[in-house]
Amino acid sequence: MPELPEVETVRRGLEQAMVGRSLKKVILRRENLRFPFPEGFCSRVEGLQIDSIRRRAKYLLIDLSDGKVILSHLGMSGRYTLFDAQKVKQYAMTQGGDETSRFGLATGFDGRHDHVEFRFDDGSIAVYTDPRRFGIMDLIEGGEESIHPLLESLGPEPFGNWNAKQLAQRLEKKTTSIKVALLDQRIVVGVGNIYACEALYRSGIHPQRESRTLVRKDGKPTKKLDVLVENVVQVLEQAVEVGGSSLNDFADVNGTLGYFGHHFQAYDREDQPCLKADCGGTIERITQSGRSTFLCPRCQR
Ligand SMILES: [Zn+2]
């Protein structure tokens, strides 16, 4: 599943390819992804220019010139592939008019899972492919972003002004484990399973530790919580730098895979030695809220 760094990588790729171009034609090859496409989606966006592309949590927000916003979430397996005008011509002779994708060679699965095609005025095309169809695509009217049901209750972004004081306020009375709290989008957005494990490992905090024990009696963050916030930001930044991880069948917009996976210190390292000097512990895997957690029981407390 693409996590925040992968989504940020996709955002940057789409930004380069789409901003300043107009949507000449949009093709939907089915009626729904996770939810039905909004009524009249294509005709409501055709002719509009892409002004900017933002990210909120793991949602991509594509700003259109009339104030509307296309909301896109990659779900479990969604991805975009970009074809410039020259590449589009190369595929022109292969199968398919508007009914069938002709980009199967590049997008995989013979193009069977190419559900959306954004055709631009300069001849370039962005194809949205999603084999498992957990992705979301919606259209938000101008000014209605903050009341959109998927966006309204999201917590703060880890990049930006987020700090340990804010986190302490949200954890003060929480008896849930710190790992589960980090995955709660109302507490902080976009910290997925992998990066929660990594940040807790680097901070020496046991994933099952009660959240409120990381907050002092006066409501201020403990030193450990300070360290945790630093590490959450750091693991996410490092992942963005290398273009996101390459787990599952995720590919970034250019079809290239990231390689943050090579740098995991705890995640997916069950039964392997702890990498911290002088620890001597062994990485264990436990399950929390149905998700795997990797930890070193010796140095995480
Ligand atoms: Zn250890």
The question of whether 3 is a catalytic residue gets the answer: yes
Beta bridge pairs of residue 54: 61
For the chain, what are the domain ranges?
Answer: 4-147, 164-295
CB 58 within 8 A of CB 190: yes
CA–CA dist 301, 294 (Å, integer): 13
pLDDT at residue 257, as a whole number: 44
Work out the angle at residue 197's Cα, subtended by the Cα atoms of residues 240 and 183, and round it to the nearest 5 degrees.
80
Q: Which CATH number fits domain 4-147: 3.10.150.10, 3.20.190.10, 3.40.50.10880, 1.10.287.1080?
A: 3.20.190.10
Cα separations (Å) of 294 from 76, 166, 193?
A: 21, 26, 10
Query: Could you tell me the distance, in angstroms and rounded to a whole number, from the CA of residue 158 to the centre of ligand 1?
Result: 26
C-alpha dist (Å) from residue 281 to 172, 194, 274, 275, 284: 31, 20, 5, 9, 9
Strands 79-83 and 125-129: antiparallel
Rounded distance from Cα 262 to ligand 1 centre (Å): 19
* Both structure tokens of 156: 């703060």
Q: Using CA atoms, how far apart are residues 71 and 53, in angstroms rounded to an integer?
A: 10
- Written as six digits, the tokens of 150 are 């998927």
Is 144 tagged catalytic? no
pLDDT on residue 198: 96
Out of 3, 8, 15, 117, the active site residue is 3
Cα–Cα distance for residue pair 283/97, rounded to 1 Å: 52
Supply the pLDDT for residue 258. Answer: 45
- Residues of the chain by 3-state class (helix, strand, coil), percent to 5: 30, 20, 50
Measured CA to CA, the distance from residue 104 to residue 118 in angstroms comes to 16
pLDDT tens, 93-151?
A: 666 567 888 888 888 888 999 999 999 999 999 999 999 999 999 999 999 999 999 99
Residue 29 is a catalytic residue: no
Which residue is catalytic, options 2, 5, 156, 158? 2
Ligand 1: centre distance to CA 201 (Å): 8
Amino acid at 157: E
Residues in the chain: 301
Count of other CB atoms within 10 angstroms of residue 2: 26
Give me the CATH topology for the region 164-295: Helicase, Ruva Protein; domain 3 (1.10.8)
In the beta sheet, which residues pair with residue 118?
26, 126
Distance from C-alpha of 165 to C-alpha of 171, rounded to nearest angstrom: 10
Question: If you measure from the C-alpha of residue 285 to the centroid of ligand 1, how many angstroms do you get, rounded to a whole number?
Answer: 13
The three-class DSSP label of residue 200 is helix
Alpha carbon of 280 to ligand 1 centroid (Å): 6
Which pLDDT value is given to residue 245? 46
Cα 165 to ligand 1 centroid, rounded to whole Å: 27
Nearby residues for ligand 1 (ion, Cβ within 5 Å): 274, 276, 279, 281, 296, 298-299
Query: Is-catalytic flag, 170?
Result: no
Give all strands (DSSP E) within the chain, no chain letters: 23-28, 50-56, 59-64, 69-73, 79-83, 114-120, 125-129, 136-140, 284-288, 291-295
Distance (Å, whole) CA 300 – CA 279: 10
DSSP of 59-86: EEEEEETTS-EEEEE-TTT-EEEEE-HH
* Partner residues linked to 129 by β-bridges: 79, 114
199 C-alpha to ligand 1 centroid (Å): 13
What's the gap in Å between 268 CA and the centre of ligand 1?
15
> Would you state the pLDDT for residue 261?
52
Those residues whose C-beta lies under 8 Å from the C-beta of residue 249, and which sit 6 or more positions away, are: 77, 131
Q: How far is the CA of 297 from the centre of ligand 1 (A)?
A: 7
How far away, in angstroms, is 276 Cα from ligand 1 center?
6
Q: How far apart are CA 102 and CA 91, in angstroms?
A: 6
Tens digits of residue pLDDT in 13-35: 899 889 999 999 999 999 999 99
Report the pLDDT value the prediction gives residue 95, as an integer from 0 to 100.
60
Give the residues of the chain that fall short of pLDDT 50: 245-250, 256-259
Q: Which of 11, 55, 58, 179 is catalytic?
A: 58
Contact 163, 188 (CB under 8 A): no
Kindly state the tokens that stand for 43: 């005709």
Compute the distance from residue 2 Cα to the ligand 1 centre, in Å. 28
Question: Which residue of the set 56, 132, 285, 291 is catalytic?
Answer: 291
